[in-house]
Structure 1
Amino acid sequence: MLTVAFLPDLLATLATGWTAAGAAELGIHRLHVMGIAAVVGVFLLGLFAQAYRPTQRVASMWGAFAVILVATAGTVWYGVGRPEEVIPFFLLTGIALLTHPAGRRLLRRGDSFSPALLGLVAVAAVPLLAFVGTQLSLTTSAVDPHAVDGHYVMMVALAIAPLAYGVVAALGFAGWRLASWLAALPMVYYGLLSIAFPLQVGSTGAVWGGLAILWAIAFVAVAEYSRRGPSRLFRRDIRRSD
């Protein structure tokens, strides 16, 4: 219950963190806390989307599960952060997955997939996985306050979120359109953070931040354009023999 009670305060930093008051309150943890709020927000969107037509939101279910799995595994494995706040959400998500109305259809792809979206996921995977490696190497420090608080682990989850939602969207799981937007949101937000706070721990600077934003725009644009119909590049119908 305490975890749920503190969520509004955390999610509020998505907006308040940009203000002078937010900067004074968050200090050196500004980018990390706002990034954590972003990954928590996109996880909750994927999970709570199951409350309405869940059989049509399978892609978001898998994306949310992947994000909380990474956050929980990192928190427990490295013994950092607040496992008492992360584990309950992992258990909740696990129950939601096991009892999902889609049943075995959770494992079933749709009738189409997007080669273009898969290509964009592959492009993003290279820098994102390099970022993951860097963050994991930093989280073993016993004197770095960012490591002790589990910030690096949560930044790993932030980097995994676009890949998790992006893969299921590209493969055409039910609800792939919503998943494509959820893949783009954390990239846009992190890109803005990196550009705005280049000296904060966790920032990759204006260039990489700008590229993250461009990738997110391209991903959503391709996803939306692919709705126009079957295409060998944008959305290929797997039922067709050609």
Structure 2
Amino acid sequence: MASERIREMGVRTLARTTGFYLSVLVFVFFWLLAFNFQLWAVFVGWFDPELSSTIHFVHNIALASFVWVWGLAMLAQLYRPAKRVTAMQVAVLLVLADAGVSVVAGVATAESLLFFGPTLLAAALHPSRGEVFGFARVSREDIDPVVLAVAALAVVPVGLYVLGQLNLQATLDDSHVALTHYSTMGYFSVSIIVLALLAAVRTRGRRFPAYAAGVMALGIAAASVFYPTASGLDPLWSGLATVWALAIVGAYEWSVRRDTVRSTATAPERPNVSP
């Protein structure tokens, strides 16, 4: 009886693990297939005359940085996923940001399920799924006040920017609307805030969302200055976005070092043991 139960649990675990890795691989396949242009354009687009002169330059840079963060979060699951909980949370939060803004903007499509489905299925089958969906168990002691304060500084301006982009998506009739670029800027911007807030929770691997939020904010600031196009920030807001990007990363690094010093200082001394 016991041996049958153990055998059954083994089969169940094997099926769950197989399903998890297959979900990740399916996502990676569609990620490489659908976003092959953005994945390389984010690097060479700054120097290629054709790519850097397009009216969609800011949109392409924003989308590219979004899909890179999403893809890296999923690729990380292929190696020791039990230790990549925060990366899995990043992927789930990006899905929620994308889906939520797309639904509000009225541009949601069935094709999105090719990415949403594998991501959410991988999260559901994750070896540490209890931690992945453990946001409800976060206590005040788990929150980093410094990183949270820096993240909060961007909530209002980003919120106003998102509302402006969704209004453009709903009222204009141009090529950007046809390509749903304004809604793209909406979920891209929401994702920056969401990642910054995730970095404020003291979890394993929170460096990834902190740096991802900083890189995404820095990317749109640089793109807006390099080649101002639709949805680009003006010079003042580009400068503020750059300062915030550096601040969120700096706040994370400073807080980690501060917490390390405190934990070392409060650790009990080891008693001297004679050999």
TM bucket, shorter chain: 0.7 to 0.9
Letter in 2 for 1:55: A
Q: TM-score, normalised by structure 1?
A: 0.85
Shift of 1:60: 2.4
RMSD (CA atoms): 2.8
> Which residue does the alignment assign to 2:200?
170
Residue 2 and residue 158 in structure 1: after superposition, are their counterparts in 2 closer, same or farther (change >3 A)?
closer
Q: Unaligned 5+ residue runs, structure 2?
A: 1-28, 264-275
d(CA) in 2 for partners of 1:193, 1:161: 18
Which has the larger Rg?
2
CA contact (8 A) 2:52 2:227 kept: no
**Pairwise mapping of residues 74-223 of structure 1 onto structure 2 (< 5 A)?**
74-76=101-103, 78-80=105-107, 83-106=109-132, 107=134, 108-109=137-138, 112-141=142-171, 143-198=173-228, 200-223=229-252
Shift of 1:164: 1.5
CA contact (8 A) 1:114 1:172 kept: yes
Shift of 1:90: 0.7
CA contact (8 A) 2:143 2:201 kept: yes
CA contact (8 A) 1:55 1:101 kept: yes
Shift of 1:75: 3.4
> Which residue does the alignment assign to 1:35?
62
d(CA) in 2 for partners of 1:112, 1:187: 25
Greater shift after overlay, 200-209 or 53-62?
53-62
d(CA) in 2 for partners of 1:124, 1:189: 16
Letter in 1 for 2:40: A
Residue 190 and residue 86 in structure 1: after superposition, are their counterparts in 2 closer, same or farther (change >3 A)?
same
Q: Unaligned 5+ residue runs, structure 1?
A: 237-242
Per-residue Cα deviation, 1:23-73 (whole angstroms, up to 9, x for no partner): 34xx21121122111111112122222223323332222222222222234
Residue 228 and residue 2 in structure 1: after superposition, are their counterparts in 2 closer, same or farther (change >3 A)?
closer
> Which residue does the alignment assign to 1:224?
253
Residue 125 and residue 203 in structure 1: after superposition, are their counterparts in 2 closer, same or farther (change >3 A)?
same
> Which residue does the alignment assign to 1:9?
37
d(CA) in 1 for partners of 2:86, 2:240: 25
CA contact (8 A) 1:14 1:34 kept: yes
Letter in 2 for 1:116: V
Q: TM-score, normalised by structure 2?
A: 0.75
Shift of 1:98: 0.7
CA contact (8 A) 1:3 1:85 kept: no
Residue 185 and residue 3 in structure 1: after superposition, are their counterparts in 2 closer, same or farther (change >3 A)?
closer
